[in-house]
């Protein structure tokens, strides 16, 4: 899969001669509705002999404008690395990552269509969501896109799963409520975080529960203690219990940390890239009066997570 990054908005982007079947979006979480868009794009590309292409933005426009306004940032569901992997699995051949900047935000809708979609990306078929807006002050609509002579346009209608509209907001709300089963249904897979194991303060080992520590560069929508499944440590997944949050009992900080205690596993894995899938939330974070109280609670959490995993594996 080819990945093109556009510096200073889109100025560095150039087509390579292969016209695109294109879909556009932030694709935060790459949930079921996003996957439907990706599948349709791959299908259209095969029918029309085009390259299946995604145009996405980093940071997202919402995050960019929130930072400029000093407003709260909506928690991300996925990292850019995770999104790229999911695009690859869907069969996308070219991903264009546009740096969302003042220059890009200032493009008129007509400039975006002509200069970006037509001239630079050589779009010949385009799929957008039913609420897609673009260009300066979100003036561009699907009706404007359909006036472009260079490409045809399809609208992706709302995707429902078990009667519920699938959206990043719905996934985020489910995670914030601790409803991991609902989030998994909307995503089409368990919610997960991928990262490299880093050295920590070794407090977990002191307490008898050595953890794999994944520092996070973003604030996830989920927090608390969870039963988890971990991939990336051999040919089979490992299970464990994880703490995701700011560690209120020990050196509480604003930057979240993911700490995973793996069951029946004691090997050095610093620097390894692992994927932690969240299966079941046990409880919220809590502050304890001393380390022995925290240690006792971790033991109870580990027992509860083991019991959940055993029940999960015993299902037919």
Domains and CATH numbers, the chain: 2-165 (3.40.50.620), 190-313 (2.40.30.30)
pTM metric for this prediction: 0.88
**Helix, strand, coil shares of the chain as percentages rounded to 5?**
35, 25, 40
Confidence label for 164 from pLDDT (cuts 50, 70 and 90): confident
Confidence label for 68 from pLDDT (cuts 50, 70 and 90): confident
Handedness of CA 64, 146, 44, 53 (dihedral sign): negative
Tell me: pLDDT of 296 over 80.
yes
Written as six digits, the tokens of 280 are 């079941």
Average pLDDT, rounded, for the chain: 88
Nearest one of 21, 59, 55 to 40, comparing CA atoms: 21
The answer to whether 41 and 23 have CB atoms below 8 angstroms apart is yes
Using one digit for the tens of pLDDT, what is the confidence trace for 71-114?
Answer: 888 899 998 889 999 999 999 999 999 888 888 888 899 999 99
Q: What is the mean pLDDT of residues 106-124?
A: 90
Residue 90 to residue 85: CA distance in whole angstroms: 9
User: What pLDDT, on the 0 to 100 scale, is given for residue 91?
Assistant: 97
Question: Which of the 8 DSSP states describes residue 167?
Answer: -
Residue partners of 157: CB distance under 8 A and separation at least 6 = 130
Residue 169 to residue 178: CA distance in whole angstroms: 14
Tell me: pLDDT of 203 over 70.
no
First CA to last CA distance, the chain = 37
Using one digit for the tens of pLDDT, what is the confidence trace for 279-293?
Answer: 999 999 888 878 888
């Amino acid at each position: 899969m080819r990945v093109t990054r556009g510096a200073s908005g889109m100025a560095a982007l150039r087509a390579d001669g292969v016209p695109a079947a294109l879909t556009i979006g932030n694709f935060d979480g790459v949930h079921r509705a996003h996957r439907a868009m990706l599948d349709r794009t791959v299908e259209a590309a095969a029918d029309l002999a085009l390259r299946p292409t995604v145009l996405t933005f980093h940071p997202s426009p919402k995050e960019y404008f929130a930072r400029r306004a000093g407003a709260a940032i909506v928690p991300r569901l996925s990292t850019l690395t995770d999104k790229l992997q999911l695009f690859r699995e869907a069969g996308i051949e070219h991903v264009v990552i546009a740096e969302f900047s003042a220059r890009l935000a200032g493009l008129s809708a007509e400039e975006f269509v002509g200069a970006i979609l037509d001239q630079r990306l050589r779009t010949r078929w385009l799929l957008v969501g039913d609420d897609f807006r673009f260009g300066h002050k979100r003036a561009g609509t699907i009706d404007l896109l359909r006036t472009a002579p260079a490409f045809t346009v399809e609208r992706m209608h709302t995707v429902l799963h078990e009667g519920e509209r699938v959206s990043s907001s719905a996934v985020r709300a489910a995670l914030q409520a601790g409803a991991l089963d609902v989030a998994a249904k909307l995503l089409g897979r368990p919610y997960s975080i991928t990262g490299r194991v880093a050295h920590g303060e070794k407090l977990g080992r002191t307490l008898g529960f050595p953890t794999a520590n994944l520092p996070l560069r973003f604030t996830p929508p989920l927090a608390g203690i969870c039963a988890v499944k971990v991939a990336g440590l051999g040919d089979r997944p490992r299970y464990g219990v994880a703490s995701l949050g700011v560690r209120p009992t020990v050196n509480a900080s604003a930057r979240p940390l993911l700490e995973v205690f793996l069951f029946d596993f004691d090997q050095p894995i610093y620097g390894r890239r692992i994927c932690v899938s969240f299966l079941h939330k046990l409880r919220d974070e809590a502050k304890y009066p001393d380390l022995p109280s925290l240690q006792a609670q971790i033991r109870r959490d580990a027992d509860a997570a083991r019991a959940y995993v055993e029940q999960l594996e015993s299902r037919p």
